Amino acid sequence: MMEIRRLCLKSMLLVSLLIGMAGPVFAGKIQQQLVKESALEVVLKRGALRVGMSTFVPWAMRDKTGKLIGFEIDVATRLANDLGVKVEFVPTKWDGIIPALLSGKFDVIIGGMGIRPDRNLKVNFSIPYDYTGMSLVAHKVLAADFRSLKDFNRPDVFIAARLGSTAVAAAKKFMPRAQLRMFDDESQAYQELLNGRVHAVVGSAPMPRFQAIKYPEKLFLPLKTDFTREPIGFAIRKGDFDTLNTLNNWIRVVEAEGWLRERKVYWFETKDWEDMLR
């Protein structure tokens, strides 16, 4: 009995000694491994950057010919060009876009994703390359004399928003007493508003403004400005600091060039691109 015990102890000692010796060797290996497995390295090896996105006017949408256009599309295309690879877009449903990133369907989400702490628990964000705000468009009859967020914060008011978007969080925060109805796509939310079944739609600027311009006889903008300001960043998988560093610095460069600002003005403040759509 004693004999066996001693043998066990000896072998355990030997094993722990071996592990202790292997430690420093592993550290170096792990670093190499990390570099090799970073999304950036995979992208360069593949020769293509796979970008997860979702249709969201005017961030990303299809034009008449079925080609993708929009602010995010410009950003992703330029990013891929600067990395010296091709760009491949993977259109994905918005509510499943984070699981799709985590399971490796694409390398990065470039889809106007707002940086939020709860999202940050699952993915890593780059520094913001853009800021967006939530704005609100209301029905002219139903919300006739509504002038402020306080007017909407009532239990008999219905608000529509896109499922899984930061609009939902904003609506819950600023109008906690109103009843929230969520839709898979923004177009369904706006249809609900036009049909007069909800009082207002909360959405990322500038879409609410565009809708108010499109249906002036039915809709109006009760608030003159956006009521939130949200940073927008690229989302990548956790633990990949090489890629994160590259993305951050790329954003700094194109921001300094003024290129981001110029693209933003084109897609958000002009409507020159409208003819490409229909």
Partner 1 sequence: MRKRKTKITFLDITLLILLLAAAIYVLHRIKVGLQYNWDWVSIPQYLIRYDEGSERWVTNILMQGLFTTIRLSFWSTVLATFIGTVIGLCRLSKGLFSRLIGRTYVELIRNLPPLVLIFIFYFFLTDQIMTSIGVDEFVKSRSENVQAFLTFFFASPPLFSAFLSALITLALFEGAYIAEIVRSGIQSIERGQWEASHALGLSWWQQMRYVVLPQATQRILPPLGGQFISTIKDSAIVSIISIQELTFQGMELMSATYLTFEVWITVTALYFILTMALSLSVERLEIYMRRSEG
- Residues lying near partner 1 in the complex (CB under 8 A) are found at 46, 48, 50, 54-57, 61-62, 64-66, 88, 90-93, 96, 99-100, 103-105, 184-188, 190-191, 194-196, 218, 277-278
Residue 5 vs 278, nearer CB to partner 1 = 278
Smallest gap from residue 213 Cβ to partner 1 (A): 13
Residue type, 270: T
Exposed, middle or buried by CB within 10 Å (0-12, 13-18, 19+), for 256? exposed
Question: Contact 209/137 with Cβ under 8 angstroms?
Answer: yes
Dihedral (Cα; 31, 32, 34, 37), 10-degree rounding: 180
Residue 6 vs 45, nearer CB to partner 1 = 45
Residue 215 vs 227, nearer CB to partner 1 = 215
Q: How far apart are CA 243 and CA 43, in angstroms?
A: 10
Smallest gap from residue 171 Cβ to partner 1 (A): 19
Smallest gap from residue 239 Cβ to partner 1 (A): 18
Residue 90 vs 180, nearer CB to partner 1 = 90
Smallest gap from residue 202 Cβ to partner 1 (A): 16
Residue 54 vs 251, nearer CB to partner 1 = 54
Smallest gap from residue 243 Cβ to partner 1 (A): 18
